[in-house]
Structure 1
Amino acid sequence: MTVTTNAWNTGLTASVTITNTGTTTINGWGAPAPGVSVTIGYQAGHTGNSPALPVFTLNGTGCTSS
């Protein structure tokens, strides 16, 4: 998983890319097959700095971050 953010005063935009590095299709995310990536983007508001999450999961399975 790759996460890119662009933050300012009380807002941010982010792009999250999830790559299926496994050997089976990931169900529930547009069904990416092995080797396929899905990118989502969003805009959000915030009230201050937050530390990066130490662990990510997708459908209950641990992810690695790059």
Structure 2
Amino acid sequence: MTDNRKSAIAAAIILIGFGIVAYLMPRIVLAVGDYSTVAAAAVAVVFVLGFFMIFWLRARVQKRRD
């Protein structure tokens, strides 16, 4: 039971963190875009890939523990 609770809390923290960054993403991309449009695109791609990568890595760790 505590395993499910810990997983839910971890997922909630991850989602809240990514939600805050997603809320700020337009400002971040525009700020980086002043220097380089390619870098701004890279920031956006890294954000999207990072979202899925975090959950993929977490699933691998959880699977290894079982």
Structure with bigger gyration radius: 2
- Considering the TM-score relative to the shorter chain, is it more than 0.5? no
- TM-score normalised to the size of structure 2? 0.27
Relative contact order, higher structure (CA 8 A, sep 6+)? 1
TM-score (norm 1): 0.27
| Structure in which a larger fraction of residues adopt strand | 1
Higher helix share: 2
